[in-house]
Amino acid sequence: MKIKNIYKYLFAAILILHLSACNNNTDAEQLFDKTPTERLNIQKSELSQALLSSQFGWKTVYFTDNTVLGGYTHLFRFAQDGTVEMASDFDSDTDVYKSEYEIQLGSTVSLTFTTKNRIHLLSESDNYPIPALRAKGYLGDFQFLYYGQENGEIIFKANRNGTEIRFVKATAADWADLPKNLEMEDNVIGSNERPLFRLLETTDGTTVHKFDFSFSPVTRFAESNSIEAGYSVSYNMGVGYTPTGIVVSPAVEVGGQKLSNFVYNDADGSFTATGTGGVSAVIKYSTKPLIITDDYKVMLQAPQTGYAYINANLATAPTNSALFNSLIKEIHANLPSTQKVNRIQFTFNDAFGESYITYSFTGGKALMYHNFTVQEDAVNKTLILVPGTWQSNTGAIIAEPALLKNIDKEIMNPSGLYVKKEAFKIQFTNNIYTFTSATSNFRMTTYAFQ
């Protein structure tokens, strides 16, 4: 190639690079030719337009902290005059309420609900579901920092803890069907007509894994731990209700796929999330515990052991069954308002070799004792409490108290109780033991005193 032609091509290449650099500089200048305040005002206008753009408003399932709490569906319909209509499934009140909102400017743009409405129920510090959240409430917020839009969704982060919140466009059905979320709650809790035991079963198309499954309706939180030796995977997740099932956060990850939407099947009470390529996760019932332990054996002989349900601390334990909770409520309904169950305590093999249940109450009601002897069903691994005499706090023999008949009948089930030393603790360092009926949906949670 001639030198003259080489210079021509070099000159052309340099000219192209120069023009490209000029264009890049122009873009950069356009990007930064506005002051921070001007950019915030643009974002404010953008958010305002977005909030007003959806015919039926917006929906979010707000997981305030998915390590301890579930999700709460909120519906919003924003108006240009600064008012917002809102409904939620926080509790049974799914009516629509009007309040005010502002799009505020600070270090960033935020959507703030300035007058009280349903969203504020999640941020009130004196409104908490469990003692561990005392003075913290439901860890929610009413000021959402604006982070832009993606695929038609508005993205926020809670000012309180940085939790991401996504608004999706609501439909007319979302508003009409909101009460169905609370109907679904009963299916998640499980009725007394269903088996007590539940599991989470996952498959990646070839390999199946099984996990125990427990759910607390008070916190809308579920815990699932592998029952397989050498496989230590756990799925702890917040649960939100939908008209057709549940949504969970974090998602259950199976075979590299994240499954978060579970559909309810009323025929068998199961919830199924389906991926692709045979991937799925199913929450379903089992007629027996997934793992039957020998934890009851410590109760068969000396030295003395004790286990107590303490109402003040264990009333919200997720391992209490719905049947057990209903029997406690039944007792309370038949007591004066000043009296409640205080403890139901098992004592095995005291200094005199005797075993008995102590029923104690608040409000000055006297103690009552039910003596029993202990038998073992080694084949089914159950502990059988054979009922004996009832005694008053003075030691006198008394007739069976009608007040305690139904709950005591479950404890003295002739088919026995499964006993399990749980892996978790509740408030104190005492080990937790559960006593579960072999034939009904009765399960009570106790502290061990050994």
Over the stretch 116-151, which tens digit does the pLDDT of each residue have?
Answer: 999 999 999 999 999 999 999 999 999 999 999 999
Note whether 418 and 436 are within 8 A (CB).
yes
On the CB side of 429, CA atoms within 13 Å amount to 1
Largest CA distance in the chain: 122
Residue 359 CB neighbour total at 10 angstroms? 22
Position 14 scores a pLDDT of 46
Q: Per the structure block, which two tokens stand in for 13?
A: 């290449």
Nearest alpha carbon to residue 415 among 441, 440, 384: 384
Q: What is the pLDDT of residue 32?
A: 55
Length of the chain: 450
Distance separating alpha carbons of residues 240 and 248, to the nearest angstrom: 6
Quote the CA–CA distance of 14 and 20 in Å, as a whole number.
10
Contacts of 260 (CB under 8 A, 6+ apart): 247, 248, 249, 251, 252, 273
Supply the pLDDT for residue 9: 47
pLDDT in tens, the chain (450 residues): 444 444 444 444 444 444 444 444 444 445 456 788 888 889 999 999 999 999 999 999 999 999 999 999 999 999 999 999 999 999 999 999 999 999 999 889 999 999 999 999 999 999 999 999 999 999 999 999 999 999 999 999 999 999 999 999 999 999 999 999 999 999 998 877 888 889 999 999 999 999 999 899 999 999 999 999 889 999 999 999 999 999 999 999 999 999 999 999 999 999 999 999 999 999 999 988 888 999 999 999 889 999 999 999 999 998 899 899 999 999 999 999 999 999 999 999 999 999 999 999 999 999 999 999 999 999 999 999 999 999 999 999 999 999 999 999 999 999 999 999 998 999 999 999 999 999 998 999 999 997
Report pLDDT for 11. Answer: 47
Tokens of 420: 């399990």
Give me the long-range contacts of 186-192 (CB less than 8 A, separation at least 24): 187/264, 187/266, 187/269, 188/215, 188/217, 188/239, 188/241, 188/246, 188/271, 189/215, 189/217, 189/322, 190/215, 190/269, 190/285, 190/322, 191/269, 191/322, 192/322, 192/323, 192/326, 192/441
pLDDT score recorded for residue 445:
98
Rounded CA-CA distance 135/125 in Å is 5
- What is the sign, positive or negative, of the torsion defined by CA atoms of 67, 182, 241, 217? positive
Q: What pLDDT, on a 0 to 100 scale, did the predictor assign at position 448? A: 97
